Chains A and B, each alone.
Chain A
Amino acid sequence: MSIYCRNLSTGMKEYSDSEIIECLRNRQSHVVRYLFDRYLPMIRLMIFRMGGSTEDAKDIFQDGLLILIEKIDDKDFVFTCKFKTYLYCVCENLWKSVIMKRKAAANYLSSASEAEAGKDINEFIDNKLYDEIFWGAFETLDDAGKKILKLYWQGVSPVQIAEQLGYTYGYVRKKKCKTQAELVDKIKKSPGYKQIKNSEIIVNSIVT
């Protein structure tokens, strides 16, 4: 089955902070969808690093956004930081409080798991997987490809990438797709990924 490589722009329109705030104040739902697509990866990664799941991330994201909408509706409140920074900080706080509650519940339900419940939040930060595999493969790419991909992940538009790096728009598009494919190949060939795939097969055979 052949699938087109994702377009460089990913089709996602970038909103400025003022646009986000105006749209949220006017209850324009498209901006919520945008925020979900744009910032859920950030919230999810933060929550993964602290022991949560995708479902946790979605719940926390919605609560975090809810808090910010309330602040936007409050005319006396002045936003003095980036929207993204607020969203991250609010979600982080919410998640820490969820962790505390879960710990408290675990303590209450099982005194035997005392040692487990007494662990610090930092102990949830365990995920070196991506750093090891993704970054390991990324570092082996050529410089031009690395720069293009890095800017692409930072949400820079292809036109701006071309401007910043002094390439043509066509080259940026081609190079990005080529490098992305190379990265996927390298990840697939990395020993860590192979190990995971093998373990996955074993796990599946046990589960099914």
Chain B
Amino acid sequence: MVVAELRNVSKDFDGRRALDDVNLEIQDGEILALVGPNGSGKTTLLKILGFLDKPSKGDVYFRGEKVTDRNMERMRMSSTLVFQKTVLFDATVYENIAYGLTIRKVSKKEIDEEVMQVLRLVRFKGFENRHAKDLSGGEQQRVALARALALKRELLLLDEPTANLDPKNASVVEEVIAAASRESQTAIVMATQNMFQAKNLPHRVALIANGRIGEIGTPGEIFGRLSKTLASFAALENTFAGAAEVTEDETTLVDIGNGVKIEAASQSSGKISIFVSPQDIILSKKQLQSSARNVFKGKVVEIGDLGSLVKLKVDVGKPIVVQITKRSFNEMRLSLDSEVFLAFKASSVQVI
């Protein structure tokens, strides 16, 4: 059954086209990943599916009913969005999760049960009386996810749910998403830039660039044939395409251009794409002696603040994104143009 459908949807912001003639059907019980670089229209698409924004052109249907100005508020009751930048109310964890239930006048007893259940689900039991703003970024995102799950909506929308998280919190969030999809018939649409996630979590993947959906299919179809569209997605974080050859050590060396060669543990040859998770890369100011097969020297060209984490873009000939904690960032006294070394294991390189 089709939960929601977009027909020829376009969206303009001040003359800039954010979505361009998008057609999309979302099925009951599926996880659909929207994969695309920053500014490709993922968030806009999710806000339209969450009935928080209206298309400039085209129509949205929910369970076959056309969404209009008049039924938008009612439609919102069927869909909920978890924002990329975690937003929490200035209140306790309990109050945050209970909000959506309270305004629907659910009884106190039912709310108590529901809150406890979702907190158990996101492995955050016993934290209900903590103030939400005192939690770490990763914990806050888990609360935000729990708050959305408590509503048991037919359509769950997630905007890069693990983008700003450390690996531990990210894996909890991924497990919760998979479990929510397995145990209920909730349809899940998630935006992501994480290739590994896009390959393993969803049933279907839609590649989106410049407001258009380029290709849509199962992860096997999309990543298997490694389409031209995907290769043109170089703007995606740490995703590189290049010619691969098997080395004497039975690993693979991928030439991604500009003299940068990355070694991967698996064996493949020909034209392939690879992905390295920003969390798997070690950043140092001096060259370290380690087992890492990939070591590059480069300059910091971009610094992004993610709360407790910092995202750095390092130019080593190709831009590589690294994620470190704010504490390390401060202790290492990094700034733009700082010279740094990046190291990651060949086994951290995922061939997609």
Q: Tell whether A pairs with B.
A: no
